[in-house]
Amino acid sequence: MSKIILDGNLVAQEIKDNLELRIGSLKDNGIIPCLATILVGNNPSSEIYVKMKGNACERLGMKSIRIHLPESIETNELLEAIAKLNQDETVHGILLQHPVPSHIDERLAFESIGIRKDVDGVTSTGYGQTALGFGMYPSCTPAAIMKLLKYYQIPIEGKHAVVVGRSPILGKPVSALLLNENATVTTCHSKTTNLPQLLKQADIVVAAVGKPTYIHGKWLKKDSIILDAGYNKGNIGDIDYESCYEVASAITPVPGGVGPVTIAMLMKHTVESAENM
């Protein structure tokens, strides 16, 4: 079997190419798809991510609103900013950049985003709908992982998928999406005691643990499919790429794998929101 590099840039470009005609149709009807991003504080990595999302909007001819709030604000002030965006009919998607400062109730802030504008699937309602199979906007990184698998026609049904990570916007929703595609899913986390043994059974591995080069190739089954959703300082993923590359039949690079597709899915969800309003 020849090895497949799951090229996220290629997949992202196809998504964006397909959006251009839809954006043009919306503009013909006087609607410009608009994504509002909220950044609280001065986290350098978060600033880069927000800028990337804004640039992606502009390249597609979409509108981007960036709201940068000081680190000292309280939860109620953040909720007020989100409420204004919920009421603004020209805004079709709202993204609160994670993480927010520790004194802010992030979950309460996520929950205040209107479901029609929850284009990153961060609300409990959005997650619940995704898990039940009818969510309109699943979390963008899990959606990107599923898009990569489908683009490269990698079978999911009947396969054993092991997801390493259980965050509410990555590990848990991607586990649900894989389950909805009839995979058998094992979700691992910091309390899992036999991770290498579980990974040895995996046909599909999703690395979403947030630890650089954590997963080693010697833990993996030969010819497994590896999707690295980690993005750590120095452009390093959650897998040890060289050792995993030797074992895998298909693997995402970092950078250039899941990341570009995540941003493209955010654009897609925002356009769909504009179409549905």
Residue 233 is predicted with a pLDDT of 84
Residue 163 is predicted with a pLDDT of 98
Q: Let me know whether 110 and 152 are in one domain.
A: no
Report mean pLDDT in 10-residue bins for the chain, 277 residues.
Answer: 91 97 97 98 90 95 97 97 98 96 97 97 96 95 98 98 96 97 97 96 96 96 97 90 97 95 98 96
Q: Distance of alpha carbon 46 from its chain centroid, rounded?
A: 14
State the residue range of the domain holding 64: 30-116
Which of 262, 12, 274, 2 minimizes the C-alpha distance to 138? 262
Q: Give a yes or no: residue 75 inside a domain.
A: yes
Q: Let me know whether 155 and 67 are in one domain.
A: no
Q: Give a yes or no: residue 36 inside a domain.
A: yes
Q: Give a yes or no: residue 184 inside a domain.
A: yes
Task: Please check whether residue 178 is in contact with residue 229, taking contact to mean a CB–CB distance below 8 angstroms.
Answer: no
Residue 157 is predicted with a pLDDT of 98
Q: Give a yes or no: residue 268 inside a domain.
A: no
pTM: 0.95
CATH code for the domain in which residue 152 is found: 3.40.50.720
Residue 79 is predicted with a pLDDT of 98
Residue 232 is predicted with a pLDDT of 86
Q: Let me know whether 112 and 180 are in one domain.
A: no
Q: Let me know whether 228 and 146 are in one domain.
A: yes
Residue 234 is predicted with a pLDDT of 85
Q: Let me know whether 151 and 110 are in one domain.
A: no
Evaluate the CA torsion angle 48, 53, 56, 58 in order and state its sign.
negative
Residue 180 is predicted with a pLDDT of 97
Q: What is the number of domains present in the chain?
A: 2
Give me the active site residues, please. 53, 97, 120
Torsion of CA 177, 178, 184, 187, to 10 degrees: -80
Q: Give a yes or no: residue 274 inside a domain.
A: no
User: Long-range contacts: 80-86, Cβ < 8 Å, 24+?
Assistant: 81/38, 82/38, 82/109, 82/112, 82/113, 83/112, 85/36, 85/38, 85/117, 86/112, 86/113, 86/114, 86/117
